[in-house]
Structure 1
């Protein structure tokens, strides 16, 4: 019986040694457990959202931005219209000035021709004879010169009034567009 007891003790000692080895192996594995928890912890780099939540966020962002965009578009279109009206105004003014410049040399030449004719006729009549016909021709020449000058003044006034009326029409359109 002693031999059977000795074999039981040996078997028990071998089991204890195996248990000690298992405990030391588990201890070495569990010792590193906090670091393993940190290493194995999942980190979300990108958060996944459900599609309805994403759509709601897009719609709310769109609702916030749309009035600002509409306001900026209206401001820019008003500014573009204002610049277009200014461009038209400047073109009309340029055309008016070109018309005045082109008509002035002609009117000056026609007035100087009339004045030259009147002066020549006056000089010829004064040199030849001083009859009632010559004073009548000189008076006609003076009247013609006055009429030409009056025509030029009226033409200038008409051009100025046309320019003013177009500017007032633009201002009226601008005020109607602003409302």
Structure 2
């Protein structure tokens, strides 16, 4: 019986050794298990949505933004039109000023020359025996000078009103064309 007992002890020892080796192998395999769980765990970085939900969200966003965009576009177009009208007005004013300057320089030189010649002839005619102008002739020359200046002012005012009239006609045509 001792031999069967010895063989049982030997068999038990070999089983224990095999079990110990299995435990060590399992321990080394499972030792890294928490890290593997964390590594293999899936995290959602992006949430997948069904296509109809996505389309609905896009449409609601479009419905929300469209009025604001339309309003901003209308504001910008009206501002651009206002700037264009202002630019045209400034160009017209510039043309008027250039015309006025050129007519003044041409008109003044010829008017001044004619006025100077006329005033010299007037002075010669109205000069008394001592060569001085009489009071009547001086006042008449002063009145003539005032009338020439008034004529130039009125001419400038007429030119300005004509320019404003053409500018308003242009604006009216534009507004009628836009409608």
Paired residue for 1:98?
98
TM-fit CA distance, 1:89: 0.8
TM-fit CA distance, 1:14: 1.9
Q: Answer yes or no: is the 8 Å Cα contact 1:107–1:152 preserved in 2.
A: no
- The count of corresponding residues between Structure 1 and Structure 2 is 163
Match of 1:84, SS? helix
- Over 3 Å counting, the alpha-carbon distance change for 1:145 and 1:16 in structure 2 is closer
Counterpart-to-counterpart distance in 1, 2:16 and 2:125:
158
Paired residue for 2:11?
11
Relative to the length of structure 1, the TM-score reads: 0.63
Provide the aligned C-alpha RMSD in A: 4.1
Paired residue for 1:62?
62
Deviates more, 1:84-93 or 1:154-163: 154-163
Task: Give the unaligned 5+ runs of structure 1.
Answer: 128-143
TM-fit CA distance, 1:37: 1.3
Post-superposition Cα deviations, 1:32-79, rounded to whole Å, max 9, x if no partner, equal 432321132233444444444443343333333333333322222222
TM-fit CA distance, 1:124: 6.5
Match of 1:42, SS? coil
Counterpart-to-counterpart distance in 2, 1:32 and 1:158:
100
Relative to the length of structure 2, the TM-score reads: 0.63
Q: Does 1:83 align with 2:77?
A: no
- Over 3 Å counting, the alpha-carbon distance change for 1:145 and 1:2 in structure 2 is closer
- Over 3 Å counting, the alpha-carbon distance change for 1:119 and 1:9 in structure 2 is closer
Counterpart-to-counterpart distance in 1, 2:116 and 2:8:
156
- Over 3 Å counting, the alpha-carbon distance change for 1:4 and 1:107 in structure 2 is same
